[in-house]
Structure 1
Amino acid sequence: MNRRTLLASALLLPAAAAAQPAWAPARPVRLVVPFAAGGSTDVAARILAERMGETLGQPVVVENRTGSAGFIGAENVARSAPDGHSLLMGATGLLAIAPHLYATMPFNVERDLAPVSMAFASDLVISVANNVPARTLPELIALAKAQPGALNYASSGAGTTTHVATELFRLAAGIELTHVPYRGSSQAMNDLMAGNVQVLVDQIAGSIGQIRDGRIRALAVTGTARHALLPDVPTVAEAGLPGAQATSWGAVMAPAGTPAPAVARLAAAVREAMTQPAVRSRMSAAGADPAFSTPEELAAFIRAENQKWGRVVRDGRITVS
């Protein structure tokens, strides 16, 4: 399963899928976001929660439980009663990258969490500072090969999606770059605009304003097709580097053991939300492509993403302190 397949599934629903599963929440549903309020995952969760609440007949309340790379919020859901009233908005780093970075985690993704539905996906954009002479991705690669290790790339922190996605790009291009981790994407962006670092791979939503204002230069997007917000920026495949395709995504998870009817009903509520034009418009404006899936499709997708990012962590020799 790839992101385009998941997004396209909206057009392939059989009529039987529209039937409402025989379960309904008896009280408000918690949707735990394991990251700070105001971030892209939080914004997407709040857009989704509002519509899900209308569909389920009970409020879906977003609850931010931050800390420890998202482990605190994820463990809280994993240890909650498996009755359909506690959900997690998981993300790429937490569900597919962290298991390969940490020797021990307070929860196991496959054992302790049950997939419900894909929720959104966000392409990334490879950008450079204006003082970098490269105008295209091949030119950046040539520059890096001519000066191994001389170019610095910023990330929002060691082990984050921006870090590992840049390593995927570096490995695919066969170049050496020097990693400069920051505490958050805003600090990384500020130093890119100042020219203190040369390269940043980040979500389009976090870079689009600076790109449009001419404060940084976009060279390629990491999705399988050009992005609507950056129609003139080629994909990595168009730039000759298909091995650098990457997506940052969010998915709704429940505690393991949640009854199948509850999981099915919750997945149907996500699907219903993501087919609404108003929801899709708000998600797209926030830089996220709305998506949904069956629980089985999501389980297969997470397994594939774990295999992909596990290879990058190993080949890139990525570690966290």
Structure 2
Amino acid sequence: MTFHFTPCPSVRTAPARSAWRLSAVVGAAVVGLAAANAAHADAGAFPNKPVRMVVGFAAGGGADVVARLVGAKMSESMGQQVVVENRPGATGTIAADSVARSPADGYSLFLGSQSTMVIAPNIYPKLPFDPLKSFTPVSQLVSMPLLLVVNPAKVSAKTVEELTKQIKANPNAMSYASSGAGGPQHIAGELYKHLLRADVTHVPYSGESGAIADVLGGHIPYMFANLPVAMPHIQAGKLRALAITSLQRNPTAPDIPTMVEAGMKDFEVLTWYGVFAPAKTPAPVVQKLYTEMQQALAKPDLKAKLADQGLTTVASNPADFSRFVQNEVPKWSTLIKEFGIKAE
């Protein structure tokens, strides 16, 4: 008689399962340790090639000025060049999308502002990226006010009050320029229009350089321009500044009154610029980039250059910058809804 003996499954397979689980745990630990070591190794060697900083606006604008000044100092300390790449259009979202899709290794950065990271989601229904999820905030660099400027050869107004009277007398003949639909310059223009209760045409450009060129050429009566871009033209007598959009006067231009002083209640619009890396960029690489930016902004000569142009240095760390961006969202979305601002 032949007996067929089948072992109990629990007796035969339990040790195998335990061994498999142990191997899996050990394997996962080894992979995790290897990944952590690789990240630290990458951060230690970072950067070993040029770093690309993409700007979503044309060369010569406020964003471009900041990127080139800070990038030059970072190049000196890192031993690798920070290459500024201008990709204007759609309130900076074209440039932002290109960086969001780049490898998360720290070599592709985006110089963002509230125009792209906070305002754009409210005016473009289907962005190809999520400003809060597609990026890792590195550091806010600077903040700056805007200047309400006119062409003195075309507009006789020397104060906000005088410009207001001229607009009300000829509302359909007046227009203002901006660097693009939905940006701080557009918001400032709509806020001014709202307070003076007059219909003025908004003329958006694909960057500040084009907008200010047409104001200089007398084609557009006025605009709200970034302070560092407008000041050289003001000093040359080609533009006249009527007011500044901060709540306090700026040390760079102490004679220019604030919009509040000019009778525009609670009028405050500030522009800020900061650096973002693609989401999931290793924390050590982000920290390295932040440290380089912090050191660059602390350099006396750079700090003086920025201050001379009316820029306030911030140099916030990644965590603080992330909180700042999240807090900006409700403030700007409220203004956009109130004024009915849409992409043009």
Normalization by structure 1: what TM-score? 0.81
Verify: 1:78 aligned to 2:100, yes or no. Answer: yes
Verify: 1:292 aligned to 2:287, yes or no. Answer: no
Counterparts of 1:156 and 1:35 in 2: how far apart (Å)? 8
Whether the aligned pair in 2 keeps the contact of 1:172 and 1:243 (CA below 8 Å) is no
Deviates more, 1:146-155 or 1:42-51: 146-155
Whether the aligned pair in 1 keeps the contact of 2:111 and 2:273 (CA below 8 Å) is yes
Cross-structure match for 2:53:
31
**What does residue range 210-229 of structure 1 map to in structure 2 within 5 Å?**
210-229=233-252
One-letter amino acid of the counterpart of residue 61, structure 1 = V
One-letter amino acid of the counterpart of residue 210, structure 1 = H
Counterparts of 1:297 and 1:250 in 2: how far apart (Å)? 14
Q: Which has the higher contact order (CA 8 A, sep 6+)?
A: 1
Counterparts of 2:47 and 2:216 in 1: how far apart (Å)? 50
Deviates more, 1:96-105 or 1:144-153: 144-153
Verify: 1:240 aligned to 2:259, yes or no. Answer: no
Verify: 1:64 aligned to 2:85, yes or no. Answer: yes
Counterparts of 1:150 and 1:125 in 2: how far apart (Å)? 22
User: Alpha-carbon deviation of 1:113?
Assistant: 0.5
Counterparts of 1:103 and 1:36 in 2: how far apart (Å)? 24
User: Alpha-carbon deviation of 1:202?
Assistant: 0.8
Contiguous gaps of at least 5 residues in structure 1: 1-20
Task: Give secondary structure in 1 for the equivalent of 2:241.
Answer: strand
Give the root-mean-square deviation of aligned CA atoms. Answer: 2.8
Would the alpha carbon gap of residues 219 and 41 (structure 1) be closer, same or farther in structure 2, given more than 3 Å must change? Answer: same
Would the alpha carbon gap of residues 206 and 53 (structure 1) be closer, same or farther in structure 2, given more than 3 Å must change? Answer: closer
Counterparts of 1:282 and 1:242 in 2: how far apart (Å)? 31
User: Alpha-carbon deviation of 1:175?
Assistant: 4.0
User: Alpha-carbon deviation of 1:299?
Assistant: 1.7
Counterparts of 1:103 and 1:93 in 2: how far apart (Å)? 15
Counterparts of 1:31 and 1:190 in 2: how far apart (Å)? 25
User: Alpha-carbon deviation of 1:239?
Assistant: 2.3
User: Alpha-carbon deviation of 1:142?
Assistant: 4.6
Whether the aligned pair in 2 keeps the contact of 1:50 and 1:59 (CA below 8 Å) is no
Normalization by structure 2: what TM-score? 0.76
Would the alpha carbon gap of residues 141 and 297 (structure 1) be closer, same or farther in structure 2, given more than 3 Å must change? Answer: farther
Task: Give secondary structure in 1 for the equivalent of 2:254.
Answer: coil
* Identical aligned residues as a percent: 36
Describe the superposition over 1:67-94 as per-residue Cα deviations: whole angstroms up to 9, x where unpaired: 4433333222212232333321112321
Would the alpha carbon gap of residues 154 and 83 (structure 1) be closer, same or farther in structure 2, given more than 3 Å must change? Answer: closer
Whether the aligned pair in 1 keeps the contact of 2:47 and 2:80 (CA below 8 Å) is no
What count of residue pairs does the alignment treat as equivalent? 300
